[in-house]
Structure 1
Amino acid sequence: MSIEKTKEQLHHLLKDNGYPVIALSGKWGTGKSHLWDEVRTESVDTKVNKAVYVSLFGLSTIDQVKRKLIERTIPIVEGKSPIVDGFMNIIDVGLTAGAEHFKALAAIKDVNLLLMAPVALKEKVIVIDDIERKHEKLGIDEVLGFIDEYSKQYKTRFVLILNDDHLSQKEEQKALWTTFREKVIDQEIKLSTTPKEAYCIASKLNPSKYSEAIKQASVKCSLTNIRVISKIIRIINKLLLNSDLSEPIQHRVIPSVVLFSAIHFRGLIDGPDFEFALNIGESNWEMVAKHENHEPSAKDKQEINWRLFMNRLGIYGCDEFEHSLVNFLESGLLDIGVIEPVIERYKSEHDYLEAKQSVHNFIQKVLWDYRLTEKMLIDDAKALVDVCYLLDCSTVSNFCFIVEKYLSVGAQISDEAINKWVKHNQSTSDLNIPFDYKLHPKIQEHLDAMTEECNAKKSVLDVVLYIYAHSSWSTVHSSVLKKATTDDFEYAIRNTENIEDFKDFMLQMTEFAMNRTSHNQTFGTAVEHFIQACKNIVNNPDETRLGSIIKTIFENRKLEVELK
């Protein structure tokens, strides 16, 4: 049940002494401790207000649990009788004196404190948290045995805060826990925090001027872990500390930060990984068309769901912002010098982002809004033709595919949009060209004419040099190398102007070749394509000098057999 309903039910149970042991269960991070704090504060029952809290994190014996409870209880015991005070003082004095001669007697002082447990804990309300984080030496049977004894003999009431999904993972304790759940716990309340409730709590703890945009993305991601949401808000505040973003730019940036951060902190249920998210295409109908002639595999179905999920967030493609974000999440090192220029570019591209959002809104109308007539959709499409020149090639392709497929005059509208786009985009330097996306044939033809391949081939060299210099790589680097072809490696080898860069490139790639097995999963067929590129150069009679150097490098690395 939701937080409000759970709170109401917990208040009701605490008023009824017929429930000495109450369990508040739910998934980790969904606000159970926060809920208890509110209940304790709001209650009119003094015993509930003064409830004694203990976390079992790291505790290895039940005596340690009792000691912590007594230490928290004795300072608030009001009006202790002179008999109790005198009893403790006499024993303390005697044991202190005796301990000077017999070290064993010093330990009895702890026993003295533990003997006071029934007096100190009698008729108290005790809250036990973090049961799943207890030391492995402390068994659940001991904890629940203590609860059973004190609830029956000393009228102590207990509220157990349980991350039951963690407890159930330990098979040796699962059956025992089920037994005590049936015999010791009088009433269990399961908290099912809604995404809106989780965000409300997290946002109070971590205010942000972009709260509404974060909330929308967080709810669409179905995030219920308050700790994860809090981390996401802090990341956004850190990334955008010095920025004042308009609504279109917020729609471009914030959903990506929420999604990629949720992936990193494992806050999504069956969500995409970094690699898929970074390479998301912009179409959601072609994935279905792809499988018209055969039954999609489990992986295909999963990727279709991931694509639809990202489309709901308004994420149809990624650029250097997401790449920099992933690098930050994986390394923990924030390079503001990389992030801020991208944000500033987005600010200068306000019209572009607004136009892009309009296209995506139009596509959603075509695919889902059955109330709109074709005439209404045609009028909307014609209005968008005038802003298509502002858009990136994938978004224009997206728009053209849709109008051609669903509108009777779609071909004409598509031609007008492409012609206007081509007229205003005569250089690849300012274009956002995706690695792997089916562009409209007319747009692809235009890009090919402008030698789009050049930029992609240079990126292979950049990635390998980065790995050589830093002895590490990110998901972005892995993705680039997985896509690299033999031609890409040949181009990098032949056209590296700086000889030091050529040396570093060859040393790094031959190091990968020497340890191919351990790198194949990370970089796919990159090593094979590199070796084939070297073979092509070595076997080219017009490149004897370069071929000779490559052969020497392979011989020094004990890889000469690879060139045969």
Structure 2
Amino acid sequence: MSIELLEKEIRRFLASFDAEVLCISGKWGVGKTFAWNKYLQEADSEGAIGLKRYSYVSLFGRNSLDDVRSAVFENTVPLAGAPTKPNLASVIKSAEAGGRKLTAYARLTPKVKDYVALSERVLFATMGSQLICIDDLERSGKGLAVHDVLGLVSELKEQKACKVIVLLNAEKIPGDGKEAFEAQLEKVADISLTFNPSPSEAAEIGVSPGIALRDRLVRHCVTLSIVNIRVIKKIERHAKRLGEILLGYDGRILEQAVSSMALYTFSKFQPDSAPPLEFLRKFNRFTGLVGQPSEEYAKWRDLLIEYEYSSTDEFDLKVMAGVERGFFDEAQLKAAADDLAASLQFGDQGNSVHEAWAKYHDSFDDNADAVLDGLDAAFRANANAITPLNASGTVRLFKELGREEQAKALARYYVDIRNEPVEFWDLSEYAFKGDVTDPDLIAAFVEKHASFAPPALDAGDVLIRISCQSGWNTRDVEFLANLSAQDFVTLFKKLKGEDLRRAVREALRFANRGGQGSPEVMIATRAKEALELIAAESPINARRVAQRLAEAKGG
């Protein structure tokens, strides 16, 4: 049933004074309760509800009819159209409210609580005509049978002149309850509807009016065929937060963040319907151009192209991390946004790269020479804006299409033209290092990285960093292993306080990080020799060294 017809039927139901039962079934997450509350609130604000009192009861975990009756009574509230001046009806309502509070407290009181069930039945008997929503029928506890609930619904309609709406996922009613539901539904419900919104309908009701980038959020949800309202609301919440963090940045950065976030949220919360996050983490449309595309790549490529998602970059990874955690690291996201803003300065030139790739993607023409010539020109014009991952994919494509020497020349040109810091050329630190696979480009990166003079290391800084990060690399070990015992004496005497404790402790811990004769053991051996030399200087230093050795042994 369309959203338009559902809204019309709900509004008719709300406006009528007649006692009746409306049943709406739909899959979990499609927004049955959300839609009901939306139309209820709108009708209430317009004074378009016939009855003036309302009670909402979720059956989730409830195990008895007495529990349900109590909840119906306790949750009853006046609607906006109810009279505000004191009259007999409002006095009765005040008494009922007091009764609800009294029974709630009574349940906590020994002995008195034994009489609560009886009093609640009496209070329930005083109920008159009102609007009631019974939600989550399929999630009721084991002690509450479906046929008993439907019996209560029938009682509310026939004996209390109530209007009752029942919301459920009929497909998920457990065991024999489903047969009982289907057998009694026709006898109990005056109208039975199935709520199955289309992606466009779900997005229209799920994305709040007036939110920034609303049209884009709707389009993203529709393209991904999301009908789960909970997922849509999560996307909306993340979009609001991204808008706050990225306020003042180039609008294209926020657009990329929101687009990527919507895809990642879909993937996280609907994994059976969406590309896996791990696949998206490494996705690059150009990678599939080389060799035989994987089955997973072939499965999701068309959707991602339609979504205009060409690759995952470093900025996207920060957005993805936020979706996975449930919140965004503002500092990390802004740092990645700064880098992206710098690369967008090449945006106008980047259009030529897009146009060059369009000749490859958008036809079956026998135009390999024209495609490759265009890619060569665009690659050279935009090398400073092309990521190492895309550079690798481009070079490999040239090789597969028979232009080996031209491919090698492109790899060399890319490395020669880029004026980047040493960190850029260290592929071991690159987020997509496993996908940079062209051997000529890798070799050029290694050569470029080796051409930088390594920064001078300070032994104290190295040991303190190892202590703080609980990690070290080969260069750290080689550097520390070349220190003499006297170098360690100088180091330990220079350091003070917590820095001294960290340095001594980490140096001695290397005794357990390698085999006999290894560089790691050599570090610990010379550090201990240095401490023995310091201990021999004076009785007070002997005590200090003994204390440091004990601390290192214990921690």
Q: Compute the TM-score of the two structures, normalised by the length of structure 1.
A: 0.65
Residue 522 (structure 2) aligns with: 545
Report whether the alignment pairs 1:189 with 2:193: yes
Report whether the alignment pairs 1:235 with 2:234: no
Superposition RMSD in Å: 5.4
Q: Structure 1 66/286 Cα, relative in aligned 2: closer, same or farther at 3 Å?
A: same
Contact 1:389 1:422 survives alignment (8 Å): no
Equivalent AA in structure 1 for residue 248 of structure 2: D
Matches within 5 A, 1:501-512: none
Matches within 5 A, 1:94-493: 108-117=118-127, 120-121=128-129, 125-152=131-158, 156-164=162-170, 167-168=172-173, 170-171=174-175, 173-181=177-185, 184-185=188-189, 187-204=191-208, 207-208=211-212, 210-241=213-244, 242-246=246-250, 248-264=252-268, 266-283=269-286, 285=288, 289=292, 301-302=295-296, 304-306=298-300, 309-310=303-304, 312-331=306-325, 334-352=328-346, 359=353, 362-363=356-357, 366-370=360-364, 377=371, 381=375, 384-385=378-379, 386-402=381-397, 414=407, 417-425=410-418, 427=420, 428-430=422-424, 433=430, 434-451=432-449, 493=477
SS at match of 2:29: coil
SS at match of 1:285: helix
Residue 52 (structure 1) aligns with: 54
Contact 2:54 2:78 survives alignment (8 Å): no
Structure 2 distance, partners of 1:132, 1:310, is: 36
Residue 362 (structure 1) shift:
4.7
Q: Structure 1 287/50 Cα, relative in aligned 2: closer, same or farther at 3 Å?
A: farther
Equivalent AA in structure 1 for residue 274 of structure 2: G
Structure 2 distance, partners of 1:227, 1:453, is: 53
Contact 2:346 2:385 survives alignment (8 Å): yes
The 10-residue stretch of structure 1 (434-443 or 375-384) with the greater mean CA deviation from structure 2: 375-384
Residue 132 (structure 1) shift:
4.2
Contact 2:284 2:310 survives alignment (8 Å): yes
Contact 1:355 1:391 survives alignment (8 Å): no
Report Cα offsets for 1:477-496 as digits up to 9, x if no partner. xxxx9xxxxxx975665457
Contact 2:54 2:77 survives alignment (8 Å): no
Contact 2:55 2:133 survives alignment (8 Å): yes
Equivalent AA in structure 2 for residue 398 of structure 1: G
Residue 21 (structure 2) aligns with: 21
Contact 2:28 2:169 survives alignment (8 Å): yes
Q: Structure 1 217/370 Cα, relative in aligned 2: closer, same or farther at 3 Å?
A: farther
Give 5+ residue unaligned stretches, structure 1. 291-299, 456-464, 472-480, 482-487, 511-533, 550-555, 558-564
Residue 151 (structure 1) shift:
3.9
Residue 16 (structure 1) shift:
10
Structure 1 distance, partners of 2:387, 2:393, is: 10
Residue 68 (structure 2) aligns with: 65
SS at match of 2:247: coil
Q: Structure 1 358/395 Cα, relative in aligned 2: closer, same or farther at 3 Å?
A: farther
The 10-residue stretch of structure 1 (252-261 or 104-113) with the greater mean CA deviation from structure 2: 104-113
SS at match of 1:450: helix
Residue 128 (structure 1) shift:
1.9
Structure 2 distance, partners of 1:218, 1:64, is: 39
Structure 1 distance, partners of 2:305, 2:480, is: 39
Report Cα offsets for 1:487-512 as digits up to 9, x if no partner. x975665457999589669989x9xx
Equivalent AA in structure 2 for residue 271 of structure 1: A
- Kindly name which structure, 1 or 2, has the bigger radius of gyration based on alpha carbons: 2
SS at match of 1:28: coil
Structure 2 distance, partners of 1:316, 1:244, is: 25
SS at match of 1:239: helix
Q: Compute the TM-score of the two structures, normalised by the length of structure 2.
A: 0.66
Residue 437 (structure 1) shift:
0.7
Contact 1:21 1:187 survives alignment (8 Å): yes
Q: Structure 1 199/47 Cα, relative in aligned 2: closer, same or farther at 3 Å?
A: closer
Q: Structure 1 439/249 Cα, relative in aligned 2: closer, same or farther at 3 Å?
A: farther
Contact 2:322 2:328 survives alignment (8 Å): yes
Residue 351 (structure 1) shift:
3.1
Structure 2 distance, partners of 1:127, 1:492, is: 67
Residue 24 (structure 1) shift:
1.5
Structure 2 distance, partners of 1:259, 1:501, is: 46
Structure 2 distance, partners of 1:425, 1:13, is: 68
Q: Structure 1 382/470 Cα, relative in aligned 2: closer, same or farther at 3 Å?
A: closer
Residue 393 (structure 1) shift:
1.6
Residue 459 (structure 1) aligns with: none
Contact 2:69 2:121 survives alignment (8 Å): no
Contact 1:29 1:226 survives alignment (8 Å): yes
Structure 2 distance, partners of 1:505, 1:260, is: 43
Residue 478 (structure 1) aligns with: none
Q: Structure 1 249/380 Cα, relative in aligned 2: closer, same or farther at 3 Å?
A: farther
Q: Structure 1 177/453 Cα, relative in aligned 2: closer, same or farther at 3 Å?
A: farther
Structure 1 distance, partners of 2:21, 2:247, is: 51
Structure 2 distance, partners of 1:130, 1:26, is: 11
Report Cα offsets for 1:332-369 as digits up to 9, x if no partner. 56432222122122112213466557645654552344
Equivalent AA in structure 1 for residue 196 of structure 2: S
The 10-residue stretch of structure 1 (538-547 or 225-234) with the greater mean CA deviation from structure 2: 538-547
Q: Structure 1 52/348 Cα, relative in aligned 2: closer, same or farther at 3 Å?
A: same
Residue 162 (structure 1) shift:
1.7
Equivalent AA in structure 1 for residue 33 of structure 2: S
Contact 1:493 1:502 survives alignment (8 Å): no
Report Cα offsets for 1:188-210 as digits up to 9, x if no partner. 322222333333334326712x3
Report Cα offsets for 1:106-161 as digits up to 9, x if no partner. 765433212224xx13xx55332233454554333321121234445566443212
Structure 2 distance, partners of 1:332, 1:466, is: 30
Equivalent AA in structure 1 for residue 441 of structure 2: I
